[in-house]
Structure 1
């Protein structure tokens, strides 16, 4: 039994791998210390893991990871670089990199290696060579502004301006030009503001370097490095500048520079380049070149890649294309119709401008960008820094989160468990902890992690009166510690602690056969649950008396107090959390059991391997059901993380992955949302989309909820913008084809009613400006996040927008017909006892109706499938909408009598009945209730029959466990 116990203990302790693929020893290493989790791949001795590492490095290359350069402002050329770098680099001499001789006999380099630089000398060199930063490839401000003038929507306005110039309508052309540049200015402001927000967040992730200054190593901003500095390069860290290795050797990943998949070993005297990453080892190195003078600085332009188009950008492009095609078609039909009726080319073109302007959702990109930027700030307050704005959209749709165990699900800190088997009557966990402390140097700082664990749990004050006569530290040959102590009463005895199979051999096997058997059984049972044990024994009667086994102390890296509730919260929001850990299978299962994550934790050894070229195997999807059905994987190598993510993504899941090590980079890069946890290496942070500044899973789940809130805001706005555009575009199109105001002109009218209905361009632009100006406040709106992963469904968007816009345009057409027919004694207007309207009043009525309907449509679109009152809007949105509605009402009432674009127009309050605007408001509110009810009904219909796949989400599809041979 004892041997079985020993075997079990070895299976749990020795040779286990944590989730980063690192090896952990049993209870003690050869120095007598409890083996700790290491961030160094150099600890990995296993041949299989070496081969896995090679394949992982290939995956780094195939995943196109620009390690440490994608989001590190002071090292890369991304958005996070500090502003104003051109001036800084103007100081740096464009000569070849400074060369530092590495000859040991060179007294100068020997001095640099032993002492580093002084602060005074470093300051002088910083002035000479400039900051250790690369020139950022930033667009000039003028180009950013110019881009706002040739986007798809501004091009439509340019077309309208050209038409106005062609027909010599100079006032309208001036108005359109003013609107064009006002919109470009607003768009420029919001674009640069969003970019600055992301840059500011990235700046908080700026890399640090460990530098020897004034004879001491300290952590400092890597941008302050200068040639001659002595730096410490360690596993997982980015190489902050071109450096010469001063001692030992390190393995370096240079994929970002050379495309080489495998790590390159650098020996003393070799030059390691900025932009590479240390994957194994730790050395001191002397900086030989910084900033633009580095190898990477001279070739950075060759290493940059194009920006990936996000799903949101693709969606907006498709929406714009649809609206532009629809607008062009309707404009062409209307133009031909008017010419066919005998209208002049000038009049037909004038109306075409109206349709063009009505079809332009000017601020659609501005509002979406602003909403994402505001969301990134909100996430940063919750401890999640976004390096890619589109990651917010991806996180909103995430349905599976692959989370590492140690530090994320657990505390990353071994703790004594309440479960304490006792074998001597009268002893308790309290006394057992005291005995364990006596088997250590309790009057001195803890010598290893195990002593730290015991000292932290035991009542150390109660040992003050106890004298330690002798102490035997841990020795690899006996694998235990022993203390000889004397109580105040004079009683003397020995206490020993160590692995159970070692301590059990101290006691008399025949006398204590039952105790040994029970201990063996307890250790085995605990081992099956992944719980580690520490046995404590003492001599009885005297220091030379027989040994007796007191009991077992059990310890485990426990789950965080909030992890279980957080996982349940994630499940409620349609996100399945899978545990992906390098730790032992039994430990992973016990953690999963405590967290109610399920028991289908599998050994990652059953998964396939990467191909020799670093690509996923062709039969990867044969394992998809297996991967999908499990609660997680244990004993995972980095390449397994990559394969798990790849399989889930191919299977239709939007997948998130957490990681912290350099070898996690391929999986982080490949995942839809790569999350670098708190304390991650530079490589992991560079590959991730989101970097956490707080520990635990709760930060990630909070970020998911915030992301869905942001997604909801964008969905509301896009739905509204499509609806508003359809209302205006189709309203004027139908009106020109079906309404002929001249036929309704009353006898004796003081003004000539036009042959076809259209609105002054100035009024249309006022509607657009007030609406779009108000919509920027939607970034602060209250939104109830969906409990299922979000996704873009263009068909549903256009269907709901079509219903909202359709009800609005039909109500506008009805009002227009009633107003035109107001002089008919048998008409609705006259039957209500109201006086006939002038055409100027009709123009202002339609302007007010369309304006108010647009604003009310926003409040319908923002409530999703529910009625508008089910979701309280934010105060900012209410105030903004209130101001816009008030301005629209004031202008509709106070408009001076005039003929803009030849259309008679007069303020509603200038002629009787002066309360006409009140009637329009009441009509708009009644139509709004009908519009909202129609929206709710259509949503219910779509969901009932799953039309357009509105209910199709990929989330929590837990299949039955699949056995893999």
Structure 2
């Protein structure tokens, strides 16, 4: 689109744009015309710049894990171990390609989720208002903008008044007033009012060149990187201690220090958790796919870890615990009859705004057979927090009058009522059962008269009580947050099974220590939620927070797990780390369970990795120091690492059970358990070593390679289950991969390859049987004993 045409669309009087854009302000575009324009102008989005895949692949050769292996290859070359050099280089390339392909798979999963988090726009097409993905907007579309919306394209206002936050575009923090004819730019946020406008520019043609895409999927920059660092720290502590002892012994023996280099090489390679970052990323990416099937869209991968550790859920009442569909519960006429009260309330509403209160009045009017089309709404004033009411100027048969609906005290003052307490008494019985009571008034030109009260009720969801109980059984305390008065809040909290102890939010803010005694907070304003989250976190809670509004955004960002509910505004979705696709708590229960299952997978991987490092490093070092021989070659050690890491990556699919309580990272406990099991496995490794040494042929290095690989595989099968290993089966993918690894290793050692001398099949079978017996029988009961007798948990 040429710049002159852009200027035309921005500067030309808005009444002339209808012809310029070939549209109709009252009917909108037809679907056919919209499709033609979509083909002409393209989607309303800016293509994301993506990094060259070849650059991503090159980065796999430039990171700490790759440096260690590259150093090993260089050291092998210096020492004249050319076969080791070639094989290690081949394995470096294989690892880079595998890591690259898995990362691409994870990114594709995230991009799939991203496509499901498109911003929605309210648009008029073929005379009907509908919600469509903003990427499908075209110039000439008529759109409706309301409080909390991100502006989906550059829009000229046809009618209405707005206050707009343009800080994301201009850096100016003050809101800007916009009225008829003004341009509201893509990427702005509506802070007040509502208006109808015509789309003039989309996609890359927008004035600021901004897309309306709100939710950007966070790439794997995870909080659990701290866990990786701590695991690497403990592994390196083990290696440094062993290297220090070994080096000292070699010097005391006056042996050639160069003999120490191959040992150092093997130990360093054995200690580096090459697959750990990939394991985290793949587990969380696959977890996000699993969650998406359960109706939970993850916008930041680290929120999955937050879901596993969450122990407190601050839940909104509306839409989460209740059905979020207001309906008229009772009508209390003060003048006229029920039908009159509902009619005036419906006339003070607007259907296209899809406001729940407005819809409740309109739907009730339709039930009563009121033909609202016989009135003409000349002017409509939407709900204003400062006046706490809506108002319409309506006309019928040549006469006009005003109608309004809103808070009882606001309309009481408007009508000049002196004894408002009597009105409150009429509403009291409705309020006690959790109803919201609104007043309706009429002004026929003289003064405002209160015509009646209408009680509205948003009933609890049928499954709320069951799901609240399920969350409690999972160790998650549910606290209800609502703006309702205390009596209403108590009634709902009791009905959904949370409990009756609901206090006013100010009482909690004054004394957060009462958190264990309360079930909910009443009279919560949106701006209070951020403070509530902060106070809960200061009390040591891992907090999940549900929200839907613009003012919920700071609380959603502050929470450990910010959860935007299904009907949330675009701003809330952008601030949250999780977006639900259906109402209620079911998605949250699924999120907790799946999050904990992912945590268990990673926890088991870490335990397996530390145990394996302890066994391999201590055994190899002690064998050298005590027997003065290398029990495994450098090539054998590298091959062992890659073959076993191939198995451990499938842990991301394992059927581990979720914990019945919130997860917590306890790396020190994992290290303690690993050392205990590692010591047992070192003793068992020496038993195998002495057995092999007693044989006439004694193919030592190949036999130890095979035993260590089988031992690592069966140890993983053992520790993946805290009870007896047979109490649960691994996933099909994991089981088949283990079997494939066992068969491949058997074939390698019996046929022999360069770097591994062939051994008799009978010996390979004996090693298989011994490693299976020691790790799945003996070590299974040792594992259970460690937890029961020493009270060490992981």
TM-score category, normalised to shorter length: 0.7 to 0.9
Counterparts of 1:122 and 1:306, CA distance in 2: 32
1:764 maps onto 2:637 in alignment: yes
Query: CA contact under 8 A between 1:99 and 1:288: conserved in structure 2?
Result: no
Contact map agreement 2:430 2:436 (CA 8 A) in 1 = yes
1:234 is aligned to 146
Q: Check the 8 A contact 1:437/1:451 in 2, yes or no.
A: no
Farther-moved stretch of structure 1 (585-594 vs 355-364): 355-364
Once the two structures are superposed, what CA deviation does each residue of 1:183-224 show, in whole Å capped at 9, x if it has no partner?
A: 111111111211210110121121132345677655433224
1:8-48 superposed Cα distances (whole Å, 9 cap, x missing partner) = xxxxxxxxxxxxxxxxxxxxxxxxxxxxxxxxxxxxxxxxx
**Equivalent residue for 2:530?**
642
CA-to-partner distance for each residue in 1:230-271, whole Å, 9 max, x for gaps?
Answer: 432222221112333333321223343345555432233433
Give the conservation status (yes or no) of the 8 Å contact 2:217–2:300. Answer: no
Q: How far apart are 1:700 and its partner, in Å?
A: 0.9
Partner-residue secondary structure (3-state), 2:511: helix
1:834-913 matched pairs, under 5 angstroms: 836-840=695-699, 842-864=700-722, 866-895=723-752, 900=755, 905-909=757-761
Aligned partners of 1:854 and 1:105: how far apart in 2? 73
SS in 2 for 1:250: strand
Instruction: Tell me: CA distance 1:162–1:520, structure 2 relative to 1, closer, same or farther (3 Å).
Output: closer
Query: Residues 342-741 of structure 1 correspond to what in structure 2 (within 5 A)?
Result: 344=256, 347-414=259-326, 449=360, 452=363, 524=428, 527-531=431-435, 556-606=457-507, 623-627=511-515, 629-740=517-628
1:158 and 2:158 correspond: no
CA pair 104-555 structure 1, distance change in 2 beyond 3 A: closer
Does the Cα contact within 8 Å between 2:749 and 2:757 map onto a contact in 1?
no
Helix, strand or coil for the counterpart of 1:731? Answer: helix
In 1, the alpha carbon distance for the partners of 2:657 and 2:437 equals 47
Please tell me whether the aligned partners of residues 239 and 271 of structure 2 are also in contact (alpha carbons under 8 angstroms): yes
Residues 623-658 of structure 1 show CA distances to partners (whole Å, capped at 9, x for unaligned) of 321455421112221111111111112221111111
Structure 1 residues 731 and 228, CA gap change in structure 2 (3 angstroms)? same
- For residues 118 and 19 of structure 2, the distance between their equivalents in structure 1, rounded to whole angstroms, comes to 31
Q: 1:407 to 1:861 in 2, by over 3 A?
A: same
| Offset from partner CA, 1:909-940 (integer Å, 9 cap, x none) | 3xxxx356325523541354332323222223
| Higher Cα radius of gyration | 1
Gaps of 5+ in 1: 1-91, 421-434, 461-475, 477-498, 501-518, 535-551, 609-621, 741-755, 823-835, 952-965
Contact 1:774 1:881 in 2 (8 A): yes
Equivalent position of 2:56 in the other structure? 144
**Separation in 1, partners of 2:638, 2:4:** 57
Secondary structure of 2:617 counterpart:
helix
Q: In the superposition, relative to structure 1, how do residues 792 and 311 fare at CA in structure 2: closer, same or farther (>3 Å)?
A: farther
Q: 1:916 to 1:236 in 2, by over 3 A?
A: closer
Residues 762-783 of structure 1: CA deviation (Å, up to 9, x unaligned): 3223322221112222222112
Residue 932 of structure 1 pairs with residue 791 of structure 2: no
Name the CA shift for 1:264/1:578 in 2 (closer, same or farther; >3 Å). Answer: farther
Aligned equivalents of 1:148, 1:673: Cα separation in 2: 31
Partner of 1:79: none
Structure 1 contact 852–921 (Cα < 8 Å) conserved: no
CA distance in 1, matches of 2:123, 2:6: 20
How big is each residue's C-alpha offset from its partner over 1:506-543, in whole Å with a ceiling of 9 and x where there is no partner?
xxxxxxxxxxxxx9999755643435799xxxxxxxxx
Structure 2 portions without partners, runs of 5+ = 331-336, 352-357, 370-388, 390-406, 409-422, 439-452
| Distance change >3 Å, CA 204–CA 638, structure 1 → 2 | same
Contact 2:10–2:183, Cα closer than 8 Å, also in 1: no
Checking the alignment, whether the CA contact within 8 Å between 2:714 and 2:771 is kept in structure 1 is no
| Per-residue CA distance 1:408-443 (angstroms, 9 max, x = gap) | 1112235688xx9xxxxxxxxxxxxxx9899999xx
Q: 1:100 aligns with which of 9, 24, 46?
A: 9
User: What whole-Å deviation, never above 9, does each CA across 1:38-84 have from its counterpart, x for those lacking one?
Assistant: xxxxxxxxxxxxxxxxxxxxxxxxxxxxxxxxxxxxxxxxxxxxxxx
CA distance in 1: counterparts of 2:561 and 2:235, whole angstroms = 31
Structure 1 residue 731, shift from structure 2 partner = 1.5
Paired with 2:476 and 2:202, the residues of 1 have a C-alpha distance of: 44
Change (3 A) 1:386 1:786: same
Distance in 2 (CA, whole Å) between partners of 1:768 and 1:176 is 11
CA distance 1:939–1:311, shift in 2 (3 Å): farther
- In the superposition, relative to structure 1, how do residues 633 and 394 fare at CA in structure 2: closer, same or farther (>3 Å)? same
The CA deviation at 1:331 is 4.1
Distance 1:96 1:159, change over 3 A: farther
Give the 3-state SS of the residue equivalent to 1:407 in structure 2. Answer: coil
User: In the alignment, does 2:652 pair up with 1:793?
Assistant: no
**How big is the alpha-carbon RMSD for the aligned residues of Structure 1 and Structure 2?**
4.0
Q: CA deviation at 1:563?
A: 0.6
Q: CA deviation at 1:394?
A: 0.6
**Aligned counterparts of 1:390 and 1:139: Cα–Cα separation in 2:** 22
TM-score (norm 2): 0.80
Judged with a 3 Å threshold, the aligned counterparts in structure 2 of structure 1 residues 929 and 261 are, in CA distance, closer, same or farther, namely farther
Distance in 1 separating the partners of 2:328 and 2:342: 17
Question: What pairs with 1:298-317 in structure 2 (closer than 5 Å)?
Answer: 309-317=221-229
Distance 1:845 1:374, change over 3 A: same
SS of the counterpart of 1:173?
Answer: helix
Higher relative contact order (CA 8 A, sep 6+): 1
Q: Using the TM superposition, name which of 922-931 and 233-242 deviates more.
A: 922-931
SS of match in other structure, 2:660: coil
CA deviation string 1:777-803 (max 9, x = no partner): 222211221111111111112122222
Distance 1:162 1:573, change over 3 A: same
Distance 1:305 1:852 in 2: 40
Instruction: Give how far 1:124 is off.
Output: 7.0
Following the alignment from structure 2 to structure 1, what is the Cα–Cα distance between the partners of residues 52 and 249? 46
Partner of 1:470: none
- SS of 1:247's equivalent in the other structure is strand
2:179 equivalent to 1:267: yes
Identify the residue that residue 86 of structure 2 maps to in structure 1. 174
CA contact (8 A) 2:263 2:621 kept: no
Distance 1:855 1:201, change over 3 A: same
Distance 2:7 2:44 in 1: 14
Matched, 1:809 2:666: no
CA distance in 2, matches of 1:307, 1:94: 36
CA positional deviation for 1:367: 2.0
Q: In the comparison of the two structures, how many residue pairs are matched?
A: 710
Once the two structures are overlaid, the 10-residue window that deviates more, 916-925 or 724-733, is 916-925
Mapped to 2, the partners of 1:239 and 1:401 lie a distance apart of 31
Structure 2 distance, partners of 1:298, 1:380, is 27
Contact 1:198 1:389 in 2 (8 A): no
Cα distance, 1:311 vs structure 2: 2.8
SS in structure 2 at match of 1:100 = helix
CA distance in 2, matches of 1:843, 1:934: 28
Report the TM-score when normalising by structure 1: 0.67
Quote the residue 1:611 is aligned against.
none
Deviation at 1:382, TM superposition (A): 1.2
Q: Which residue of the partner structure matches residue 448 of structure 2?
A: none
Provide the C-alpha distance between the structure 1 equivalents of 2:366 and 2:146, rounded to a whole number of angstroms: 31
Q: What SS does the aligned partner of 2:9 have?
A: coil
Q: Kindly state the Cα deviation for residue 388 of structure 1 after the two structures are TM-superposed.
A: 1.3
